[in-house]
């Protein structure tokens, strides 16, 4: 199916599933769920402050583990069995799994992550509250989302709705920088998804123009690395049959054709770094060095970047086109491109949109406007992408905030109870 046609069908499906329809009035048990969250008062905020003040940058494995230990007791108090998944082989902190096994309704997987982008070296370290706003590392992305999960589960337990439910909570410790190889780092998460009917991911909720959005599709992330070798010598001989065109002209040709020929709806491709000359060195940190002179034909060139695609076949098609462009070498040059798949695409599906429709039943019961599916071009990759091939997924239902991944990241505390109510009612509808 052509990408443009598929994009049109996606838009039509979003409209179909997102349009509110008449439903039942809120039940007594649902009303009790809502009241229970209101009765939690400031306890969720206190928990958020506690875990935000524990540094859990992805590479601070001890800090990530400390956050997990604090959460372990919260889940055990709700009757969940907690286990840890070691991640030593991928040099990351362990993942936390909390399970509640029952015999009724859908098997629901709730996912989130304990790590942040703020390592101990960052000056941005503490939770600071100013009225209904709290600033701190991970307040929105996504320790606030973890608090929403716990608040919703506490409400469900208070009305007896957990008794027969099968619910698994999976919290990774390396979402911001997934361990390598990703298939090993996400092996346990994928296994949990294969044993689930529905997955809810609590990445931050996004509001734009006064509207709240949920995520039914995310583009994946694939890195590419392009290396060019060429003959090197005095610049007076360039373009000759003996010398050829040099590595930088070949690199420029390839990148120019990438720019002009690869574009498709819901896909982007970017060049993040380009070097040309000789003795190119690139560190894993991103630092690089190169030697070059104006009167020397460059013998080496290198560029790297990424591809963000919505559909697996779209990604495969882009790779094929890039390989074909690279293969048409200029005289005296040879180029090679390699791809590393980081996050798979989370393509839009009717099942994902059906979960959004369920969420909008909760919104209707709460008397708040329906939420729309966010444009996949507006959201990056996330852990939901790894589980999307195996179960229906809805993402972006965590804590609302702003400035994610930057000093000053914040969460809107006034809206945390609403998010917890939405989550509790959605989970309740799935486990019946």
Is residue 319 in a domain? yes
Regarding whether 199 and 95 lie in a shared domain, the answer is: yes
Residue 160: CA count within 13 A, CB half-sphere: 2
Q: What is the pLDDT of residues 53-96, one digit of tens each?
A: 999 999 999 999 999 999 999 999 999 999 999 999 999 999 99
Instruction: Give domain status of residue 366, yes or no.
Output: yes
Query: How many domains does the chain contain in total?
Result: 2
- pLDDT score, position 26: 77
Residue 228 domain-assigned? yes
Residue numbers of the domain that contains 322: 221-343
Confidence tier at 286 by pLDDT (50, 70, 90): confident
pTM of the model: 0.86
Least confident of 2-11, 332-341, 371-380: 2-11
Task: Please indicate, yes or no, whether residues 179 and 127 belong to a single structural domain of this protein.
Answer: yes
My answer on whether 330 and 363 are in the same domain is no
What confidence tens digit (pLDDT) does each residue in 247-282 have? 999 999 999 999 999 999 999 999 999 999 999 999
Position 19 pLDDT exceeds 50: no
Q: Percent of the chain scored above 70 by pLDDT?
A: 94
Preceding peptide of 429 cis, ω within 30°: no
- Give the SS3 label for residue 276: strand
- Average pLDDT over all residues of the chain: 93
- Residues 399 and 387: their CA atoms lie apart, in Å, by 21
Q: Give the per-residue pLDDT at 293.
A: 96
Do 290 and 184 share a structural domain?
Answer: no
Are 147 and 400 within 8 A, CB to CB? no
For residue 262, what is the domain's CATH number?
3.30.70.360
13 within a domain of the structure (yes/no): no
User: Where among 291, 310, 343 does a domain terminate?
Assistant: 343
User: pLDDT at position 76, please?
Assistant: 98
pLDDT score of 174 more than 60: yes
User: Would you say residue 7 lies in a domain?
Assistant: no
pLDDT category at 207 given cuts 50, 70, 90 is very high
Domain check: are 373 and 361 in the same one? yes
**Any domain includes 60:** yes
Same domain assignment for residues 140 and 194? yes
For residues 26 and 125, membership in a common domain is answered with yes
Sheet holding 333-343, edge to edge: 288-291, 268-282, 300-308, 221-230, 333-343
- Would the pLDDT of 167 be above 80? yes
pLDDT range class, residue 23, cuts 50, 70, 90: very low
Tokens matching residue 332: 């005296």
pLDDT of residue 10: 52
Instruction: Give the mean pLDDT of 358-371.
Output: 96
Question: Do residues 284 and 400 both lie within one domain?
Answer: no
Task: Tell me: do 332 and 392 sit in the same domain.
Answer: no
pLDDT digits (tens, 9 = 90+) for 102-149: 999 999 999 999 999 999 999 999 999 999 999 999 999 999 999 999
Same domain, 180 and 153: yes
Residue 29 lies in a domain: yes
Looking at the fold, whether 381 and 423 belong to one and the same domain comes out as: yes
Q: Mark which of 325, 343, 361 sits at the end of a domain.
A: 343
149 and 47 housed in the same domain: yes
**Which pLDDT belongs to residue 379?**
78
Which residue among 286, 308, 343 closes a domain? 343
User: Does 135 map to a domain?
Assistant: yes
Which of 316, 329, 134 is CA-nearest to residue 228? 329
User: DSSP characters for 211-251?
Assistant: EEEEBS-B--EEEEEEEEEE--EEGGGTTSTTT-S-HHHHH
pLDDT tens string 291-327: 999 999 999 999 999 999 999 999 999 999 999 999 9
pLDDT in tens, 365-414: 999 999 999 999 887 788 999 999 999 999 999 999 999 999 999 999 99
Please report which confidence band the pLDDT of residue 21 belongs to, taking 50, 70 and 90 as the band edges: very low
């Amino acid at each position: 199916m052509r990408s443009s046609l598929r994009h049109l069908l996606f838009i039509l499906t979003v409209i179909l599933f997102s349009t509110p329809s008449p439903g039942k009035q809120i039940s007594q048990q649902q009303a009790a769920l809502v009241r229970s969250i209101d009765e939690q008062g400031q306890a969720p905020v206190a928990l958020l402050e506690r875990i935000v003040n524990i540094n859990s940058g992805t590479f601070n494995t001890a800090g990530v583990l400390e956050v997990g230990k604090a959460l372990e007791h919260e889940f055990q108090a709700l009757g969940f069995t907690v286990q840890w998944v070691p991640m030593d082989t991928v040099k990351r902190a362990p993942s936390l799994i909390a399970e509640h096994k029952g015999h009724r309704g859908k098997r629901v997987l709730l996912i989130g992550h304990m790590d942040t982008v703020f390592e101990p070296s960052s000056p941005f370290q503490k939770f600071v509250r100013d009225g209904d706003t709290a600033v701190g590392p991970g307040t929105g992305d996504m320790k606030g989302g973890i608090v929403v999960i716990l608040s919703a589960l506490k409400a469900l337990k208070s009305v007896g709705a957990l008794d027969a439910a099968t619910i698994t909570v999976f919290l990774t410790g390396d979402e911001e920088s997934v361990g390598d190889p990703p298939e090993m780092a996400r092996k346990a998460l994928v296994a949990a998804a294969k044993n689930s009917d529905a997955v809810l991911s609590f990445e931050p909720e996004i509001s734009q123009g006064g509207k709240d959005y949920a995520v039914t599709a995310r583009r994946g992330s694939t890195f590419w690395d392009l290396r060019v070798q060429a003959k090197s010598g005095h610049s007076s001989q360039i373009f000759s049959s003996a010398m050829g065109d040099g590595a930088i002209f070949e690199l420029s040709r390839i990148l120019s054709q990438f720019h002009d020929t690869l574009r498709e709806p819901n896909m982007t491709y970017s060049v993040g770094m380009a070097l040309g000359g000789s003795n190119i060195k690139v560190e894993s940190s991103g630092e690089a060095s190169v030697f070059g002179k104006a009167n020397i034909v460059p013998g080496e060139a290198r560029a790297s970047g990424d591809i963000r695609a919505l559909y697996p076949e779209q990604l495969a098609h882009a790779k094929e086109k890039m390989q074909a462009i690279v293969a048409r070498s200029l005289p005296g040059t040879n180029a090679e491109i390699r791809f590393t798949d980081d996050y798979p695409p989370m393509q839009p599906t009717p099942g994902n949109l059906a979960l959004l429709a369920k969420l909008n039943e909760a919104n209707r019961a709460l008397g708040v406007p329906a939420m729309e599916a966010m444009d996949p071009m507006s959201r990056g990759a996330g852990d939901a992408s790894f589980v999307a091939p195996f179960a229906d997924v809805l993402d972006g239902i965590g804590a609302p905030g702003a400035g994610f991944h930057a000093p000053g990241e914040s969460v809107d505390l006034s809206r945390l109870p609403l998010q917890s109510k939405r989550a509790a009612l959605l989970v309740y509808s799935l486990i019946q």
